[in-house]
Amino acid sequence: MEIIGKISKGSKMDQIYIPKNRTGFCIGNYVIIKPLEEKKPVERFYFYDVKSIEPIKLEIVKEVMRIINENIENYENIIVTGSFLDEGFQFNDIDIIIVTEGKISTSKIENEIKKTGIKAHILILNNKALARGFESDPLYQMMLSRCITKKRFIYKTKQKINYKLLDLHLLKSKTLIDNSDILSGSEKYDLIRNMMAVYLYLQGRRLSKELVDNEIKKSFDLRDVNRIKQNIIEKKSFLKKYKSIYDKTFIKILKGIESGAEQE
């Protein structure tokens, strides 16, 4: 791998800055600096709340961006998000949002990405739909709080509460109360995270995966959310706490629906 940098003037020594998210070039390595004979375009991505990423994942992101770029002529942005960006390799697929005003068939792109050995889940949205989701849907807000994008991603919106939408989201999490014994740890975690996102959103909190996970640990007296994913939680006390949060959230949503309110 090659990294192209520009020499900057320093007070005592001139210097070259290189990105922290890179394959190879570890701190302490010796490298050779030489003049660039032929200027090459530098591929740059934007990292939002992605503090670190494994080199092989970064290579996958580059390949995904290349495939999409070769198969779509016009798009506004490409956003990589979801559990793929979590530390480690406990993910099922790579979640991709393609922002475009045109209509696109995703099957060809998904098949091309599948050749890299990873399954892709692609969502096509225009700018208006993405902004609307970001301002009124807690799951969009949490999903977009941590991502890697092809172009700069800026959405400044006022948060709006759509109680009917939140009711639909919360209803999914009722599955855990009714079917706790047959759900896997990962399925339980997804349902808990979904409920907690709605719960915090109703408090006017700006959501992120870290915020939701911290609230789960606090509410269920856990040191690590992986205990849920590993399905090693004490069922009776856990369900009691879960149902308490669920009921509080449902009552608040119900009051909002009954009053016909949409708050900003």
Q: State the pTM of this model.
A: 0.72
| Alpha carbon distance 232, 21 (integer Å) | 34
Asked if residues 201 and 182 have their Cβ atoms less than 8 Å apart, the reply is: no
Q: Is residue 109 part of a domain?
A: yes
Bridge partner list, 124: 98
Q: Are residues 56 and 141 in the same domain?
A: yes
Say what the pLDDT of residue 39 is. Answer: 57
Domain closes at, from 114, 149, 184: 149
Looking at the structure of the chain, the number of domains it has is: 2
Choose among 160, 192, 164, 161: nearest CA to 176.
192
The residue assigned the tokens 């949205």 is 125
Looking at the domain assignment, is residue 113 inside a domain? yes
Nearest to 101 by CA among 65, 67, 76: 76
Per-residue pLDDT in tens (0 to 9) along the chain, 264 residues: 677 777 888 888 888 888 777 777 788 888 888 877 665 556 789 999 888 888 888 989 999 999 999 888 889 999 999 888 988 777 778 999 999 988 888 888 999 998 888 899 999 999 888 888 888 899 888 888 899 999 988 766 677 889 999 999 999 999 999 888 899 998 999 999 999 999 999 998 888 888 999 999 999 999 888 889 888 988 899 999 999 999 999 999 999 998 875 444
Q: Indicate the residue among 84, 118, 149 that finishes a domain.
A: 149
Please check whether residue 224 lies inside any domain of the structure: yes
Structure tokens at 1: 């791998």
243: phi then psi, degrees, rounded to nearest 5? -65, -35
For residue 223, being part of any structural domain is answered with: yes
Question: Do 50 and 144 lie in a common domain?
Answer: yes
- From the CB of residue 216, how many other CB atoms can be counted at a distance below 10 Å? 18
Q: Is residue 38 part of a domain?
A: no
Query: Is residue 139 domain-shared with residue 106, that is, in the same domain?
Result: yes
Domain that holds residue 176: 161-263
Output the pLDDT for position 51: 84
Among 156, 146, 153, 140, CA closest to 48 = 146
- 122 and 204 fall within a common domain: no
Residues 137, 209, single domain; the answer is no
Residue 24, domain member (yes or no): no
Same domain, 165 and 220: yes
Helices (H), 137-234: 138-144, 163-178, 185-201, 209-219, 226-229
